[in-house]
Amino acid sequence: MKITVWEDPTREEAEICVTGPRESLDEILAALAFVGETIAGRAGEELAVVPLASVYYFETVDDRLFFYTAEETYECPARLKAIEERLAGTPLPFARISKTAIANLSRMKSIRPEKNSRLVATLKNGEQLVVNRQYVKSIKEKLGV
């Protein structure tokens, strides 16, 4: 990939022009969709605004929603369904993997078959998530396998 940057102090906002084969463009556009997208969460007494790109997954535990980054766990006041609906209208690479979890597919390192037609996804931080069988087909399609 070749990247060329021109600085123009007379412009009020950035402009991005991308050329190339369609498969490369889709990947670049998905990455750009993350820019500026954030989610608020609480870690202890501190309320933090976290870039969606750093979220590994969302999970509901005991009717409370948490999201996880490489370093931290945050509690979120939203419901999992609301997060799913918010992400559905964007090209962000998140997908439902179970009734209680949504994963960031760009944070997956590998995926392997498990008993009962399930998959086990290993994230880049080494954590493992189970993809329930009703979501396996959708995940495989999104990952292109």
Residue pLDDT, tens place only, 20-32: 787 777 767 666 6
| Total Cβ atoms within 10 A of residue 68 | 22
64 located within any domain: yes
16 located within any domain: no
In this predicted structure, what is the pLDDT of residue 33? 63
| 27 Cβ contact list (under 8 Å, min separation 6) | none
Question: What angle (nearest 5°) sits at the alpha carbon of residue 55, between those of residues 54 and 59?
Answer: 170
In this predicted structure, what is the pLDDT of residue 32? 67
Q: The domain containing residue 91 runs over which residues?
A: 22-143
Listed as ranges, residues in the chain with pLDDT below 50 are none
The domain tally of the chain equals: 1
14 located within any domain: no
What's the rounded Cα separation, in Å, for the pair 117 and 12?
53
In this predicted structure, what is the pLDDT of residue 124? 93
Strand pairing class (128-131; 118-123): antiparallel
Return the CATH number at 100.
2.40.50.1020
In this predicted structure, what is the pLDDT of residue 28? 72
**Local structure of 132: helix, strand or coil:** coil
42 located within any domain: yes
